[in-house]
Structure 1
Amino acid sequence: MVTVIDLFAGCGGLSLGAARAGLPPKLAVELDDHAAAAHSQNFPKCKTAKLDLSKVDAGALSSLYEGRPDLVIGGPPCQGFSYIGKRNQSDPRNDLLDRFFQIVADLKPRAFLMENVPGLLDKSSIHLLERALCRVSPKYTILTPTVLDAASFGAATRRKRVLVIGFDPSDVDFISLDAIIERQRAPTNVRQALAGLPEPGLADVAKIRQIDEPYVKFVNRKLPNVGDSGKLSALCDGLVSGFAATKHSEEVQRRFSETAQGRTEKTSRFFRLNPNEPARTLRAGTGADRGSFQSARPIHFESPRVISVREAARIQGFPDWFGFHHTKWHSHRMIGNSVNPLFAEAVLKAIANSLGVSKNESECHDLYFLDAATN
């Protein structure tokens, strides 16, 4: 069994993709209380450590697992590079990019994967990445940082991310970007992603109907080697969380109803989903330290309301058994901050092959993608 460490793990989008690829994480590190709790709940066989990586050295992490890590993955906070933020180059969170690669240098894994926002490659930011990469030993082969879109890997949302992949060529078969790009498939549209979900209501838990939509069956696959949080058992009975409704006034509902699919509502500036296309990137909003601002949620393509937590999770590629938080605000923030699990799985399957993980271990479920590519 390989040893995978997920840094800045959030609620577990990257961990989920890794587990699907036959690389279940043994250690996940996350500072946020609620995200760490969600990760621990969804990956009970993974040790989730609530630690501040700006203050913890690699020695402290090494005490939490055994042997040399096979793979270190993670997505350091990206607000200082994001196109939707202030793009403040002096944002102290930018230092965590440097910290990620310092930990990689100290842990000496066989391979590593860092994901971040495309703005990291801009002229104003690229020097920060170059400086951070200088911390990694020259023995590593580092692939050219590349921007890829989750929608190009069968996801139901457009979400561009930059990938930085490195590996020790003395211990790992060559990892190529071509092997990742070969896994690109047609995107999923919103209607396919939300199939079978009921309207939100007063209760957070609702009963969903089992349907034969390939995307839904694909995201709801069982997950080996991570344990059962109890949500999976509930899903077998059709019980799923994340359906607490958001209250809207009659005036707001009227404005939402009058907004065409694929258009922006003029007063709220909320975007209405187009059922025949992937969704726009779901945003996270800000944490308590930045004012607790909630990012605008998209309007459902049929109902005059914003989408529910479970609908956001489906769009982002999380299975119906995946739990978040009992409040909508924290749940939407986790989803908006997460790596798309389907995208992560496709990327990490290519890496898993180079690490020597067999196809049986990495669960080959490509039938959905083959179907999607012909639709």
Structure 2
Amino acid sequence: MKQRPTVIDLFGGCGGMTAGFVQGGFDPVLAVEWDRAAASTYAANFGESHILGTDIEAVCTQDLPRADVVVGGPPCQGFSNLGGKNVDDPRNALWKQYIRVVEDLRPKVFVVENVERFSSRGEFAMLLEEARRGRIKDYKLSWGILLAADYGVAQRRRRTIVIGSRIGHIPLPAPTHAKIPTRDLRPWENVRSRIAGLPAVPHTTELPMSTVDLFGQTIPGVFKGSDLHIGRRPQLTSLMRYDCIPPGGGRFDLPPELQPACWRNKPTGTTDVMGRMRWDSPSLTIRTEFFKPEKGQYLHPQWDPTDAANRVNRPITHLEAARLQDFPEDFLWCGTKIEIAKQIGNAVPVSLARAIAQHLRRYLDG
């Protein structure tokens, strides 16, 4: 039997990229993740023995295994629309550590994943220069913006993807889905396909009282996916606001008396704030605070225009967000509610990672 190709996941988070590569036929041999809760989630799913719970700057490449592919999404807060766009943010320089590992380990292929804005920043130009005449000049690069919905994810999440190869040019993977399907492209997946059938009213607002010892310390977990279907306790004013928002709507659907002053004084922009999802469309990007409707289009899609009793007036739960990120039903989780939400929102959608992995396999298998 042909040996499965191997993958190293730098900035591994909770393992969204690794999960997709495992589904795509790869064996993970190493992951690096400094955040202890995220590293614990990774360990619960893929094993504790091959994950380094440390900062990538402290990693000595001489001690690392070799792999066919190195993947990673350096932290993106400095590039993000929500991160202040600080060019000097030290987190922006972590891609240099990623290149250091690639230079030393010499994988056949590497993949960089980051926010859409990364492709227009000076750091990205520096990355291209490293490929032209610097430390990775023997790698041929392909890059572009991929829309997750075009690869089977029920989410309109746009990400910069860079593929570097020293086994010949590897283009970006072709879409498998489209908003308007064709003979070769399936229709976009939608919110209904991911969260329909889950209880409209979560039976609890808390995670189970459970702990696990990982990396020498005790952390909340390990939790099953069903444990993540947790609600909140919104105030009456919030419930009144939720009740006014139809599918696809947002803060502009609120009557003046329910608008806070900051919204009344801002007649344009932030159109997805206090938004409600649509059953038959992909969601917008699932971020780390999906449990707060004031942060984006995160209200449950069920809303009947004529029957107030047939409305689900709450934000999506952690489980629903994880499903929209395409985490498998048997995926396990560690951390507090806020820590797990960060893990879900920061992850690479599993189906997007799988599509990239399957694409790379065709080149690695020759």
What TM-score range do you get, normalising by the shorter chain? 0.7 to 0.9
Q: Which amino acid aligns with 1:72?
A: V
Counterpart position of 1:160: 158
Structure 1 residue 188 displacement after superposition: 1.1
**Which consecutive residues of structure 1, in runs of 5 or more, have no partner in the other structure?**
207-228, 287-293, 358-375
Structure 1 residue 311 displacement after superposition: 0.4
Counterpart position of 2:100: 102
Which of the numbers 247, 257, 261 marks the counterpart of 2:243? 257
Normalized against structure 2, the TM-score is what? 0.78
Structure 1 residue 3 displacement after superposition: 2.4
Give runs of aligned pairs for residues 265-276 of structure 1, distance below 5 A: 265=251, 267=259, 269-276=273-280
Structure 1 residue 107 displacement after superposition: 0.6
What RMSD over aligned residues (CA atoms) do the two structures have, in Å? 2.6
Give runs of aligned pairs for residues 38-187 of structure 1, distance below 5 A: 38-44=41-47, 47-60=50-63, 62=64, 65=65, 68-122=66-120, 124-131=122-129, 133=131, 135-143=134-142, 145-169=143-167, 174-177=169-172, 180-184=173-177, 185-187=186-188
Counterpart position of 1:343: 352
Counterpart position of 1:241: 227
Task: Tell me the SS of whatever aligns to 1:16.
Answer: helix
Q: Which amino acid aligns with 1:305?
A: R
How many residue pairs get matched?
311
Counterpart position of 1:210: none
Q: Distance in 2 between matches of 1:5 and 1:126?
A: 22
Normalized against structure 1, the TM-score is what? 0.76
Instruction: Indicate yes or no: 2:293 matched with 1:298.
Output: no
Q: Percent identical across equivalent pairs? A: 32
Counterpart position of 2:286: 282
Structure 1 residue 296 displacement after superposition: 5.1
Which of the numbers 203, 209, 212 marks the counterpart of 1:201? 203
Counterpart position of 1:37: 40
Structure 1 residue 318 displacement after superposition: 0.8
Contact 1:112 1:165 in 2 (8 A): yes
Q: Distance in 2 between matches of 1:168 and 1:121?
A: 21
Q: Deviations over 1:276-303 (max 9, x none)?
A: 21100011259xxxxxxx9557111121
Instruction: Indicate yes or no: 2:12 matched with 1:9.
Output: yes
Contact 1:29 1:48 in 2 (8 A): yes
Contact 1:6 1:27 in 2 (8 A): yes
Contact 2:325 2:350 in 1 (8 A): yes
Q: Deviations over 1:316-350 (max 9, x none)?
A: 11122212235321111111100011011011101
Q: Deviations over 1:140-197 (max 9, x none)?
A: 2222x1111001111111111111111122xxx65233xx115344321111210221
Q: Which amino acid aligns with 2:81?
A: Y
Q: Distance in 2 between matches of 1:88 and 1:328?
A: 28
Q: Distance in 2 between matches of 1:200 and 1:318?
A: 19
